[in-house]
């Protein structure tokens, strides 16, 4: 009956009413989405809204958490006053959930700055054969580890932060205790230079592995006990000599520590399994047509994936599923849709992958290429997402943020350090390593601190660069050049390659705290000497070094010791040995003269 009475009303009458009312309401209160009219929703999302209902009210943390379960809502387009970070953090504290990208926008990283540039090596950080340990919170030099006789090629820290291992071109691996700086062991299993070294993240029971690769084509697995810190000096060794001169150039452990992937100059990627009684070779993957220069496993254990980069101009994302390996090829010549055509010059230039890295959530793979570009790829589909440009020389450093999957560092031989937003492909921050009177310094390595508040870099001139947030006041208390007076003293090697200081006949870690000196060996004032661990509470006279002088007033040698008033000088056993030998020669000479 009602239908018959209202036959004069068309079926779209309500829609027509809304179309006429909508513009009237929009003139009073702007819609949250321009051009979209709807009766659904509340407040600014409703056509029944009023100007009074559109006034922005500050939310309390409890109400914010109750309404949105700690997640910041997507703010309307026309809303000017966004929720403050105080409300967001308060909601996260109450409910345990929040969007990190809303709490900390990528623009936050624009506030990072260089706190200090410290000269701590005579050349790049490995050429002077020294390993140095620094405090990142104030820049102090904590220790110098001596023993290597050639360039240091790689270093690794165990996942419990107890051990530090260094590999060298002298074919030796040295393992130190990070707490005491005492040598734990000296491992000798390679016949040529060692190219990479890695601690396994975990293992079976208390047993762990330290893996090393060498230019001799060997992969060595050194077993050690995490409780006693004792190493088995006879490794499980795989010699992969497919052709003369073949080298294993890189390696990477999976996040669980059960797999190790290696790349080699024979174009092959090899995967080893550590879950059995002894390590075994699991697979040999032949997908590249040139040297494999970089490999890295993904960060999570949800899937067994790693990426390999080669000089053939491709990278491959390998995935193990259904008992076999499959791969996605990333072609470095690929371009973004809509970009200009490839020039003839670009076609003739052979592209080489120099470095690979995963973002923290493993959603993206980033590759550095020999044409100085960085390319960001989807790790699942292999689709090219962004091309990052800015470097003027080859890039050998890619470092993902420890927990923010948007952020990555890149650095190269052009002296530039870039902070990137991978989600947008935008450049957030740029630092240029310009050294006064020396030009720019190539950046060789970068590492984030675990909390993401700092990162440190090393350059070709022997500098350590520390970056971070906040005030640099703590770094103003230290000098610009930091060496210990014992850094370059001669060493004596025994048959097992352990070392003693030649002058004192002591193991370096058992020697008294050294003096702090500049690059020329000149000791610093006592205020700086108190920065040395072990000298914080020394008396003033114990902070003044003893120097030897020649007759013309020149310094005979660097700082050689210290002596307080009333103490007899300590006699070195080496001095006694030399003195006894001289007396023996004198007596022989005297007896020869008498007999003549």
Predicted pLDDT at 70: 42
In the 8-state DSSP scheme, what is residue 300? S
- How far is the CA of 586 from the CAs of 93, 571, 582, in angstroms? 83, 21, 6
- How far is the CA of 565 from the CAs of 278, 541, 562, in angstroms? 60, 8, 10
Distance CA 596, CA 588 (A): 12
Predicted pLDDT at 456: 95
Prediction pTM value? 0.75
Provide CB contacts within 8 A for 125, sequence distance 6+: 132, 152, 444, 445, 458, 462, 464
User: In terms of Cα–Cα distance, which of 324, 287, 317, 335 is closest to 380?
Assistant: 317
Distance CA 336, CA 342 (A): 11
Beta-carbon count within 10 A of 117 CB: 19
Which residue is associated with the tokens 């800015």? 390
Predicted pLDDT at 221: 96
- How far is the CA of 555 from the CAs of 18, 552, 575, in angstroms? 95, 9, 21
Predicted pLDDT at 276: 87
Which residue is associated with the tokens 């006053």? 81
Distance CA 273, CA 280 (A): 5
Distance CA 380, CA 364 (A): 8
Residue 311, CB-side half-sphere exposure with 13 Å CA sphere:
11
Contact 273, 258 (CB under 8 A): yes
Distance CA 398, CA 374 (A): 10
Cα 461 to the center of its chain, rounded Å:
19
The alpha-carbon radius of gyration of the chain (Å, integer) is 32
**pLDDT truncated to tens, each residue of the chain (596 aa)?**
566 777 778 888 888 887 787 777 666 666 656 666 665 544 555 555 555 555 555 555 555 445 444 444 444 444 455 566 666 666 666 666 556 676 788 888 999 999 999 999 986 545 789 999 999 889 999 999 999 999 999 999 998 889 999 999 999 999 999 999 999 999 999 999 999 999 998 766 788 999 999 999 999 999 999 889 999 989 999 998 767 778 999 999 999 899 999 999 999 999 999 988 899 999 999 999 999 999 999 998 778 999 999 999 999 999 998 889 999 999 999 999 877 655 544 555 789 999 999 999 999 999 999 999 999 999 999 999 999 999 999 999 999 999 899 999 999 999 999 999 999 999 999 999 988 878 889 999 999 998 888 999 999 999 999 999 888 888 999 999 999 999 999 999 988 889 999 989 999 999 999 999 999 989 999 889 999 998 888 888 778 776 544 444 444 444 344 443 344 444 445 456 556 656 665 666 556 545 54
Return the structure tokens found at 132: 């140095």
Distance CA 293, CA 354 (A): 7
């Amino acid at each position: 009956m009602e239908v018959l009475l209202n036959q004069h009303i068309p079926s779209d009458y309500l829609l027509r009413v809304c179309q006429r009312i909508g513009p009237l309401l929009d003139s009073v209160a702007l819609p949250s989405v321009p051009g979209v009219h709807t009766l659904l929703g509340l407040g600014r999302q409703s056509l029944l809204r009023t100007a009074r209902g559109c006034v922005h009210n500050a939310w309390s943390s409890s109400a914010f958490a109750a309404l949105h379960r700690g997640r910041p809502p997507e703010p309307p387009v026309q809303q000017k006053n966004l929720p403050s970070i105080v409300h967001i953090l308060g909601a996260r504290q109450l409910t345990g959930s929040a969007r990190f990208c809303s709490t900390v926008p990528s623009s936050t990283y624009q506030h990072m700055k260089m706190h200090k540039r410290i000269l701590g090596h005579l050349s790049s950080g490995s050429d002077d054969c020294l390993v140095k340990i620094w405090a990142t919170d104030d820049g102090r030099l904590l220790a110098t580890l001596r023993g290597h006789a050639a360039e240091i090629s790689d270093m690794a820290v165990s996942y419990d932060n107890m051990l530090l291992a260094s590999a060298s071109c002298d074919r030796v691996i040295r393992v130190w205790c990070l707490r005491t700086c005492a040598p734990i062991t000296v491992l000798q299993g390679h016949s040529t230079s060692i190219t990479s070294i890695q601690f396994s993240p975990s293992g079976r029971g208390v047993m762990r592995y330290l893996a090393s690769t060498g230019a001799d084509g060997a992969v060595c697995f050194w077993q050690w006990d995490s409780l006693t810190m004792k190493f088995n000096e006879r490794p499980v060794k795989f010699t992969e000599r497919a052709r003369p001169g073949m080298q294993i150039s890189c390696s990477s452990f999976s996040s669980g520590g059960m797999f190790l992937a290696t790349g080699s100059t024979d174009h092959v990627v090899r995967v080893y399994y550590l879950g059995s009684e002894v390590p075994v070779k699991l697979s040999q993957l032949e997908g590249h047509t040139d040297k494999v220069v970089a490999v890295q496993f993904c960060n999570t254990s949800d899937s067994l994936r790693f990426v390999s980069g080669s000089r053939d101009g491709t990278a491959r994302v390998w995935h193990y599923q259904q008992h076999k390996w499959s791969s996605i090829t990333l072609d470095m010549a690929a371009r973004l849709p809509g970009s200009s055509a490839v020039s003839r010059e670009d076609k003739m230039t052979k592209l080489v992958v120099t470095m690979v890295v995963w973002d923290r959530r493993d959603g993206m793979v980033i590759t550095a290429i020999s044409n100085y570009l960085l390319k960001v790829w989807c790790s699942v589909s292999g689709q090219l997402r962004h091309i990052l440009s800015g470097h003027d020389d080859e890039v050998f450093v890619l470092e993902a943020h420890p927990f923010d999957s948007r952020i990555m560092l890149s650095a190269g031989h052009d002296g530039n350090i870039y902070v990137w937003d991978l989600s947008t492909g935008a450049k957030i921050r740029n630092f240029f390593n310009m050294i006064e009177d020396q030009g720019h310094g190539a950046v060789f390595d970068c590492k984030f601190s675990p909390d993401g508040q700092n990162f440190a870099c090393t350059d070709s001139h022997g500098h350590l660069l520390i970056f971070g947030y906040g005030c640099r006041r703590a770094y103003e208390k230290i000098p610009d050049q930091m060496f210990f007076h014992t850094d370059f003293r001669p060493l004596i090697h025994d048959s097992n390659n352990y070392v003693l200081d030649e002058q004192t006949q002591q193991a370096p870690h058992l020697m008294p705290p050294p003096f702090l000196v500049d690059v020329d060996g000149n000791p610093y004032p006592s205020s700086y000497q108190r920065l040395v661990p072990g000298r914080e509470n020394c008396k003033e006279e114990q902070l003044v070094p003893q120097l030897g002088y020649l007759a013309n007033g020149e310094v005979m040698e660097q700082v050689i010791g210290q002596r307080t008033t009333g103490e007899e000088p300590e006699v070195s056993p080496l001095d006694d040995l030399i003195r006894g030998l001289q007396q023996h020669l004198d007596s022989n000479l005297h007896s020869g003269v008498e007999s003549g």
